[in-house]
Each structure stands twice: as structure tokens, then as C-alpha cells.
Amino acid sequence: MRIGELASACDCPAETIRYYEKIELLPLPVRSTNGYRIYEDFHRKWLQFILRSRELGFSQTEVRRLTNLAHQKQPACADVHDLLEEHVIHVRKRIRKLKRMERALLRLSAQCHDGTLHECPVIDELMS
């Protein structure tokens, strides 16, 4: 299949595929005599693997670690589990940070008076 077909099959832009090839997360395809990239089904599977990992919030470094583990003849499930545990800790920290951000935004929003004040207390607070 060509890059457009792969992009369609994985619901991602062709630029994303080229990028993952460039940073060597996705194996390079062979090229036809006219220079077109020719992708096989294993490219689709690896691209799905990468995209799903990214959807779960794994960083590019973590995705690389996962792909390296997956490429091993006998991937160590314990290594994958350790990576997942690290990621869960990171996600929980981000959730706590987002909750703090939400509380701050709600507090700032409560200061708004539907535009009835001449000065904006939110802008004033953000600038102080």
C-alpha cells in the first residue's frame, strides 16, 4: 500500500508517518521503481502500535522503549510492566496538576462579573 492508504487505514496524516520514519520509530518501507513508498501490513501494525501508545500519553522516549521491547524475540513482560507503572505515576502527577489548574481557573472565573466592572480583576490578578 502507498502512504495515503496507510494514512487512511490508521486515520493519521501522511506527515505523521514520514515523521515516525524520520525518527526511526517506524521501519522504512521499500521504494518502488518510481520512488513511491510501499508499505506492508507490518507497517500498519507498527504504526497502530505507535499511535495507540501516543494516545495513552506515552512520550516519544517511552514509545521507543516499548517498540524496542516489542522487537525483542522474547519481550520481558516485567520490563513492559515497569514502564507502565512509571507511566501511571506520571499520569497521576499530571492529573493532580490539572486539578490544581482547574481550581485556580474556577477561582479566577468566580471573580468575573459578566463584564459589568470597568477593570478586570482576573487580568489584574494575572499581572500581579
Residues 62, 111: one domain?
no
Distance of CA 8 to the CA centre of its chain: 18
Percent of the chain with pLDDT over 90: 70
Residues 68, 86: one domain?
no
Residue 84: half-sphere exposure toward Cβ, Cα within 13 Å: 8
Model pLDDT, residue 121: 78
Residues 64, 96: one domain?
no
Task: Give the residue-averaged pLDDT of 104-115.
Answer: 80
113 band by pLDDT with thresholds 50, 70 and 90: low
Q: With 80 as the cut, is the pLDDT of residue 97 above it?
A: yes
Cα–Cα dist 112/119, whole Å: 10
Q: Which domain holds residue 94?
A: 77-128
Tens of pLDDT along 12-71?
999 999 999 999 999 999 999 998 999 999 999 999 999 999 999 999 999 999 998 888
Domain count for the chain = 2
Question: Which domain CATH number covers 10?
Answer: 1.10.1660.10
